[in-house]
Structure 1
Amino acid sequence: MNKLDRAIGMVFPAWAERRAAARTEAARHEAVQNLLSGYGKGYGRHGASQTKKSMVMWQTDVGDADVDIHDNLERLRARARDLHMGSDIVAAAHKGLRTNIVGTGLRLKPAFDSKYLKLSKKDEERLRDSIYREWSMWAETTRCDAAGLNDFYELQSLAFLSTLMSGDVFALMPMLPRKHSVYDLRINLIEADRCHTPEAMALLNSERIQSGVEVDADGMVVAYHFSNRHPGSDRVAVSPHEWVRVEKYGELTGRLNVIHLFEAERPGQRRGIPIISPIIESLKQLDQYTEAELMAAVIAAMYTVFVKSPAEDDDYMHGMEEPETDNQYQEPIPGTGGSNVKMGRGAIVYLDP
């Protein structure tokens, strides 16, 4: 308070009080304007606004790929697979993408530098036919599959579908000698859930191993950790997990041991997410809505007649005989003693007086 305010306060106290209140209100308004000015420039007036009604309740934190993706993978996979098994829209989308993208699969087309090899046209055709013949002996039979179930082209389709559903899939390429097999190379597809960080290593080396993927000091992927059983298997309760560390490249030859199929969206991301992850909530609500609409249509289509008898005489039913309750339209509901019947197409339910 300056000298003028003190002088006014001695002569006109009420006026001095109003001056002080006005000065306080002006200072508060200036402070608010200064505060809002920091949020009213550039993106602060749009996507980063904290004052708009549509944005004021939208508060989100910044997280890296480990926090935003890897910590939520288990639940994302479970929900995506449940929708694949129970929602016709999701199943059709997954299989439609598989058919349109993979189709019959990648086919071998031998290519080599015939000029450098000094091959004639006839030798070039002979070598190309020989390569394709050898490839067909391995790829067009189920011997290329470690499980012995699919040929090479069916494995491509399975791997792509699993990637859409689970976010990623792994292909091991071990050398497994077997009878009546010309080549020992096998393809062993591993579902995403089996690649996980062992509990013993999760605490000791959490920076290097995330979601079963191990990196070196430079961030390069060097190995994967696989369980011998799926975590959702019933056999897990009988025997514990056994973990195997598989190096991405062979130590002696540098041969690729593991092929990891996934689509990265962020730097530092080591695992993939199901393709329907951003719309899981919408798809679930749509599935529930569709189910409710179908049920309503089914109930409306059941033209069920309820007849109330005017007297207690069971023999007098206005010329209508009481239907049997063991036919396909009116069956006794289990647990009710046969006194209740369920609705059916064109069913007639007789009521008491």
Structure 2
Amino acid sequence: MASARKRKAAAQAAAQGAGGGVLAVKARYDAAGSGRRMRGWNPPTSGPNRAITGLQKIRDRARDAGRNDWSGESSTQHWTTNLIGIGIVPRLRRIKSKNRKQELNDLWDAWVSQADADGVLNFYGLQTLAVRSWLESGEVFARLRPRQIDAPLAVPLQVQLIEADFVPLLDADYWPGMPAGNTIRQGIERNKYGRRVAYWMYRDHPGDGQLSSAIDASRLLRVPADQVLHMFEPKRPGQLRGVSSLAPILARLRNVADFDDNVLERQKLANLFTVFITRTMPGGVDGDFDPLTNLPVDWGNDGLPLAGLEPGMSQELDPGQDVKFSAPPDAGTAYPDYMRTQHLGTAAGQGLPYELFSGDIKEVSDRTLRVIINEFRRFAEQRQWQIVIPMLCQPIRDAWVDAGVLSGAISVEEANDAKRVEWAPHGWQYIHPVQDVQGKKLEVDAGFRSRSSVIAERGDDPEQVDAERAADKERDEELGLFTAPIQPDPNRSDGDSSGESSPGRRPDSNKAKK
């Protein structure tokens, strides 16, 4: 009796399992299926760091694409230009004394030209080079180089940019010179809590010398993590190293370049032949004959027959001779559309507007272009404020202040305020200068935003702009220049503004008449 109940329960469970299996098949995602369409799609279940196996090969191919393919260079160059422009500038906000604020700004400006440890670029040039290296190679390292206090520098600190190749893809649980309990993953040493404590770097670039591929402890240098900045864009949580932004499109770039080269080569080969002369030779005749004169061929000193065509030549052909002109095939009517489609995919893979990537603005209205550019700028600002500024700019500023405190150029009391700067990226140019300015003015007049925010959005310092306006006004008054005053808001009722609305009259003369 008990065994019968068990068999019945087992049969019911099997029936429910079969029914549940059918329901599961109907309810699950198609992308998780293993049917005819998905049978050949079996990607590996790789972690964020194992997934970047072959990182050096990706890096080499990305650099080659930047050197030899206009598509690779265009994407990197346009992203670098839009992220940095002429530089992302720090602005002090918490220093109350105007004189002291100006002194700190002057100290920073003096250090900007001394920032590069290699002595090639200034600080804003380092920003450009760092971003370009990050986009092309996937990551870049910056090493903070403290100098002697008596060094001829505004602040005893310099920054050295280091390519990703300097940090090998080394994994080790035990390594000479590494503290016990720490581990090395992808060349990054971490403690038992997973915090980065050091980077293992080659002393020289591994691609510049005759170095073997084997990683030798004697060739590596342990650099503490507080001296190194690592800028990259993580795509997955826990990812330790960066991958080139060109990685998703490298195969496409290679295939498109090969196709383009093959089309060009076909056209070159087809145009090697222009005229073909056919003839029927009488039987039993031996030797070579000139196809134009039907006479034996004359041979030159180079061992080649002398036969050719001359401009405007008229030639009578003998019976049995005929002339056929070459008709080489063209590139095909679908060639332009195919190439444009491929470049559209390349631009999309880079997050760039196709029009900006290729320079092709055919059949694009200004309103459509405005929508495209605005969306691209949101992406650019995301990268500025989530990667470039927190990973590169702000840490360098913090180290600069600390070095200034050690040298006595910055006091301990003002150190925190000197670090809390507002970073101002290079402002975007107006898409429509008239409409954009009118729109921002309406926002300010309506109280939706401040005038300072509009000026800062342009990449300018509101305080400096106001100071320049005041200086311009004072200089105009001293020189007796007649300038048109700013037109008042007609909706305001804070007094009579009739005198200010008259162009060509000096404000001080209006006050005198009143």
Confirm or deny that 1:271 pairs with 2:241.
Answer: yes
> What amino acid sits opposite 1:222 in the alignment?
V
Cα distance, 1:187 vs structure 2: 0.8
User: What is the match of residue 252 of structure 2?
Assistant: 282
User: What is the match of residue 109 of structure 2?
Assistant: 136
RMSD over aligned Cα atoms: 3.7
CA contact (8 A) 1:172 1:188 kept: yes
User: What is the match of residue 48 of structure 1?
Assistant: 32
- Structure-1-length-normalised TM-score: 0.67
Deviations 1:106-164 (A, max 9, x none): 113222242xxxx4xxxx1x22322221111111x2x3111111111111111001001
Confirm or deny that 1:62 pairs with 2:45.
Answer: yes
CA contact (8 A) 1:197 1:225 kept: no
Aligned to 1:223, the other structure's residue is in SS state strand
User: What is the match of residue 189 of structure 1?
Assistant: 161
For structure 1, the 5+ residue unaligned runs are: 1-29, 250-256, 327-337, 341-345, 347-353
Distance 1:75 1:55 in 2: 29
Confirm or deny that 1:229 pairs with 2:204.
Answer: yes
Q: Report the count of equivalent residues.
A: 279
Deviations 1:276-331 (A, max 9, x none): 21222222211211222232334445564466898957789549x999999xxxxx
CA contact (8 A) 2:191 2:197 kept: yes
> Which of 25, 29, 37 is residue 22 of structure 2 equivalent to?
37
> Which of 200, 213, 223 is residue 246 of structure 1 equivalent to?
223
Distance 1:196 1:223 in 2: 13
Deviations 1:68-124 (A, max 9, x none): 12x22112112212222221111111111111221111113222242xxxx4xxxx1
Q: 1:316 to 1:248 in 2, by over 3 A?
A: closer
Aligned to 2:145, the other structure's residue is in SS state coil
| Aligned counterparts, 1:340-351, within 5 A | none
> Which of 105, 127, 134 is residue 163 of structure 1 equivalent to?
134
Deviations 1:220-240 (A, max 9, x none): 211111111222223426xx7
| Aligned counterparts, 1:330-345, within 5 A | none
**Greater CA drift, 103-112 or 175-184:** 175-184
Quick one: percent identity of the two aligned structures?
26
**Greater CA drift, 310-319 or 218-227:** 310-319
Deviations 1:237-278 (A, max 9, x none): 6xx7621111112xxxxxxx1111001111111101000212
CA contact (8 A) 1:197 1:209 kept: no
Distance 2:23 2:183 in 1: 40
Q: 1:300 to 1:110 in 2, by over 3 A?
A: farther
- Structure-2-length-normalised TM-score: 0.48
> Which of 88, 102, 109 is residue 106 of structure 1 equivalent to?
88
Distance 2:300 2:90 in 1: 67
For structure 2, the 5+ residue unaligned runs are: 1-14, 306-310, 312-514
Q: 1:287 to 1:32 in 2, by over 3 A?
A: farther
> What amino acid sits opposite 2:28 in the alignment?
Y
Deviations 1:155-176 (A, max 9, x none): 1111001001111000001113
Distance 1:247 1:316 in 2: 81
Higher relative contact order (CA 8 A, sep 6+): 2
> What amino acid sits opposite 1:195 in the alignment?
V
Distance 2:173 2:204 in 1: 19
> What amino acid sits opposite 1:65 in the alignment?
P
User: What is the match of residue 8 of structure 1?
Assistant: none
Q: 1:101 to 1:300 in 2, by over 3 A?
A: farther
> What amino acid sits opposite 1:135 in the alignment?
W
Cα distance, 1:43 vs structure 2: 2.7
Q: 1:302 to 1:102 in 2, by over 3 A?
A: farther
Deviations 1:39-70 (A, max 9, x none): 514334x110112x11012122312112112x
CA contact (8 A) 1:175 1:184 kept: yes
Confirm or deny that 1:76 pairs with 2:47.
Answer: no
Cα distance, 1:212 vs structure 2: 0.8
Cα distance, 1:38 vs structure 2: 7.0
